[in-house]
Chain A
């Protein structure tokens, strides 16, 4: 098996509600995978289990051959998983540069020059150069999303989980984001939860469709677009809206 990150029968229920039910997923190295589905399909619960914010009710998560089902979140991040929050979660009262430095410092430790270089490089990549000293909370919403992304990049993860990264971004910012993800392709695997179908179809190598906690379909973008069940469950609905 060449998958970098796999889940087997991963499930989580809250009370009697099955939020995620027996999901199998294999993410290859360097792959860009989109995870789509209607609201409440269990996408965020699923990735929260991957990163360790929510404990699974049952099932397994394997990363690079190691069972990480029971590892705490910080240990998974150390292994090479990174996560950006759906609801922007930056250190609002700290400077932008320090936000990214905190992400980078885990790799470079006390080497201040290396941390500073990585911060400058990452902020440049997402287009936030020159904002180093602003408090993160003073950035516009779109810029905070980009900062989130920069914090993900600065960790040089092997798998980057992005939870609705383009939500609230302007069109030019979305173009920047797409270029960024394309540049990352091959360097790191990306699991992308996304509602913007344009972004999904442009970027994803493969798409997994979740509905009511179960995998409804999985395949290349063209195949997913043609899938009648997916159209009924998701694409149709969003087209109506």
Chain B
């Protein structure tokens, strides 16, 4: 019964997003496509932060690993979109495994700083390799190459549906994961790591699994972003892009399946609106972070869960 309602809610969201493909005006249509890809990034972040309780300040490196793992072979080796998507996701998976093995030796604040430092090094590396990455200027992926399985991803309709497909896959993947034994153990680690260890769970391996899963999903979002919008730039590896998913997830509700989407949607529109008014649009992000920390650490979906729907995953 309860499971039915939950599946219904998330299927409903997908249905609404699908309907919007035909209803939205051009500008919003492009924005929502972007939001779905970025929400996928946020869902990846949420696996680690929301469900496992590990706060990373360096997820931009995974997003960028996916993006550059796709863009570099495409622009320099002439690799097709399909295989390049795989190299992008693979690059993020390998990077997250390496970072996880090192960073998980630390806890709490040290974990946050270590991830921040690794991401900083990754961003600087992209700048250092400017000969190939063209640094801040970035590389443009030619329209002719952005064809996946015969679908032209530079076409707005196709791109929207491809973004929706990725988003749905990760949304239901998360929903499935958190009901699996592994997902339950991740939550147990978030709630009380010592106790989880003494129930016989190898908490290090579970956390490593969470880092790799989270980093890989984030990388898939980065690769998709590069492919769908035809561009890879160093700004996506900057600290901003590590803070954004934290902000989106906090706003939407950490440790909820639907929260990252809500948070990304709201914050994206808010920042979009603000950037029309002032160049200091990141002020919104700052104010939102402080207010969320003070008054709504549970976020939107977290409040819904607290007030009305206790079983919301």
Contact = CB atoms under 8 A, between A and B. Distances in A.
Direct contact of A and B (CB under 8 A): yes
A100 to B, nearest CB: 10
A216 to B, nearest CB: 29
Contact of A151 (B181, B184, B185, B199): B199
Which of B180, B187, B191, B196 has the largest count of A CB atoms less than 10 A from its CB?
B191
Contacts of A155: 199-200
A110 B181 CA distance: 7
B136 interface: no
B203 interface: yes
Nearest to A161: B198
Interface in A103-157: 103, 105-106, 109-110, 151, 155
Interface string B168-190: 00000000000011001101100
A66 B204 CA distance: 23
Contacts of B200: 74, 77-78, 106, 155
Contact of A91 (B180, B195, B201, B203): B195
A102 B196 contact: yes
Contact of B191 (A73, A77, A94, A105): A94
A74 B181 contact: no
B191 A93 contact: yes
B194 interface: yes
Contacts of A77: 197-200
A13 interface: no
A51 interface: yes
A92 interface: yes
B191 A74 contact: no
Interface residues of A, number: 27
B199 A102 contact: yes
A238 interface: no
B181 to A, nearest CB: 5
Given A74-B202, A74-B203, A110-B181, A91 B197 contact: no
A89 interface: yes
A82 B198 CA distance: 7
A63 interface: no
Nearest to B179: A112
Contacts of B191: 91-94
Q: What is the interface of chain B mostly: helix, strand, loop, or mixed? A: helix
A90 interface: yes
A101 B185 CA distance: 10
Given A74-B203, A91-B191, A91-B192, A98 B198 contact: no
Nearest to A137: B191
B181 A109 contact: yes
A101 B202 CA distance: 17
Interface string B223-255: 000000000000000000000000000000000
Contacts of A51: 198
B170 to A, nearest CB: 22
B181 A83 contact: no
Contacts of A74: 197-198, 200-203
Nearest to B203: A74
B186 to A, nearest CB: 11
Given A94-B187, A110-B181, A89 B202 contact: no
Contacts of B201: 74, 106
B198 A94 contact: no
B107 to A, nearest CB: 16
Given A77-B200, A78-B200, A89 B194 contact: yes
A102 B198 contact: no
Contacts of A82: 198
Interface of B: 180-181, 184-185, 187-188, 191-192, 194-203
The 9 closest A-B pairs by CB, nearest first: A77-B200, A91-B191, A78-B200, A74-B202, A106-B200, A89-B195, A74-B197, A73-B197, A102-B188
27 contacts: A51-B198, A53-B198, A72-B202, A73-B198, A74-B197, A77-B198, A77-B200, A78-B200, A89-B192, A89-B194, A89-B195, A91-B188, A91-B191, A92-B192, A93-B191, A94-B191, A102-B184, A102-B185, A103-B199, A105-B184, A106-B201, A109-B181, A110-B180, A110-B181, A151-B199, A155-B199, A155-B200
Interface of A: 51, 53, 72-75, 77-78, 82-83, 85, 89-94, 98, 101-103, 105-106, 109-110, 151, 155
